[in-house]
Chains A and B, each alone.
Chain A
């Protein structure tokens, strides 16, 4: 059980943000001014829909809407302008969809507001109202079934597959068995382990989707003349003792636990129900937390190896890249735990030293997750820094 915010659509939130959502790149500057003026707001800057394929614009739209509908968001200010609207990115439509879920939403149209400065004033007033409304919310008891978690592993080393990822996997099992929702992703990093995952898909259709996602990414890499083996494992992985992509993948998938895979989701796509899902996404430390937040993750878990990271206190790979979804850092490497103590929220390094079991650590991890879900801040959440918003766009731009 945890203490969360219950939203009108039945979703639970572990944070209580007002989201400012510029739908077109051309309205970013107005939205950015509003965000600076009004406390309690977060902004999702659109990096640019212009010159993008329809499929990529759909990805942007899906991601923006997903962020707005995340339980961690109490209210949304949608910013746009009819002149910049396109088929895929329409601010009025987005506001309507958000409104239909019962979530408070305000719409700011730049032209109708009477120019740049008037639009900022008008937007600030609307955001002010939303933040005040958000502050009426109180935390209430929520069940595990109300919680959605996402995970990524990074700076992987051999502790990732032995101590770090399996603990997350066991915690995922506990969550999914209790009716909650869990996401894992990183399509390139299931290459070599896809047969093992395919066996866990709920039906043949999902199995085909999973295998197709893997063969597409492998074919895409080969088509560029690139040898994935020169890119992944990355140099830090190799330095730390991971030799091949297959080895990295097999260690990586242990973070998914052992529950059936209900479906394969597109980047930013919201799941049709509870359970464990694979997201066909990119491993990027910036893009993946954002995509999982859009899919509905309340908390994003970043499972570090870290053996290949610099000595002393190393900087983390990303800060608040989930925007409205806090990032929790964890590791199974005792050295990382010690070196990055300022940023790491949970350490399962005792497993490497033979002092604890995966099961014991998973129980402790769940306790730690529930504290964060109830309002305790993650260590990187305290750092007043927002990494750039990065969508997973795959097509060439013109």
Chain B
């Protein structure tokens, strides 16, 4: 464990994304803290306050986990430290049926 003040949080140990608790800039490191978890991840994009970053490489169609549950799937391959939002993941539920 490091003494560095964290700027992102891991909500549930099963999650594969973290939530920024500050506005994070690219070329900065996300310092992610959770219960028994600490990792520094270099960023390649800005992550605004409250938004998500990938904790591991997420392959296309991989389930995205937050609060320990599935919140959607990856629409493309996502790199570790990459910004995770509606441009690269989508929800599964409530989808319009094809007629």
Contacts and interface: CB of A to CB of B under 8 A. Distances in A.
Given A227-B95, A227-B96, A229-B95, A241 B52 contact: yes
B94 A245 contact: yes
B40 to A, nearest CB: 17
Contacts of B84: 243
Contacts of B48: 241
B77 to A, nearest CB: 17
Interface in A225-244: 225-229, 232, 238, 240-241, 243-244
Contact of B93 (A159, A191, A196, A240): A191
A168 to B, nearest CB: 16
Given A228-B94, A246-B92, A241 B71 contact: no
B44 interface: no
Interface residues of B, number: 30
B11 interface: yes
Nearest to A222: B97
A162 B96 contact: no
B70 interface: yes
Contact of B89 (A158, A226, A243, A335): A243
B29 interface: no
A58 interface: no
Given A192-B71, A241-B52, A244-B72, A162 B89 contact: no
A161 B85 CA distance: 16
A192 B67 contact: no
A116 B29 CA distance: 72
B94 A191 contact: yes
A196 B94 contact: no
A307 B50 contact: yes
B98 to A, nearest CB: 11
Given A157-B50, A221-B94, A227-B96, A243 B67 contact: no
Contacts of A396: none
A174 interface: no
A84 B64 CA distance: 56
A232 B93 CA distance: 11
Contacts of A206: none
A343 B48 CA distance: 25
B6 interface: yes
Contacts of B97: 222
A381 interface: no
Nearest to A227: B96
B93 A218 contact: yes
Interface string B1-44: 00001100101000000010100000000000000000000000
Contacts of A247: 66-67, 71-72, 91
Interface in A169-221: 191-193, 196, 218, 221
Contacts of A4: none
Contacts of A37: none
A222 B93 CA distance: 11
B49 A243 contact: no
A389 interface: no
Contacts of B49: 158, 241, 307, 335
A51 interface: no
Given A246-B69, A251-B67, A352-B21, A240 B89 contact: no
Given A229-B94, A243-B85, A245-B94, A250 B52 contact: no
A241 B50 contact: yes
Nearest to A163: B21
Interface of B: 5-6, 9, 11, 19, 21, 48-52, 66-67, 69-72, 84-86, 89-97, 99
26 contacts: A158-B50, A158-B52, A161-B11, A162-B9, A191-B93, A192-B70, A192-B91, A192-B92, A193-B69, A227-B96, A229-B90, A229-B95, A232-B94, A241-B52, A243-B52, A243-B85, A243-B86, A245-B91, A246-B71, A246-B93, A247-B67, A247-B71, A247-B72, A247-B91, A335-B49, A352-B21
Given A192-B92, A246-B71, 12 more contacts: A158-B51, A159-B50, A161-B11, A191-B94, A192-B71, A193-B69, A241-B49, A243-B71, A244-B86, A245-B91, A352-B21, A354-B21
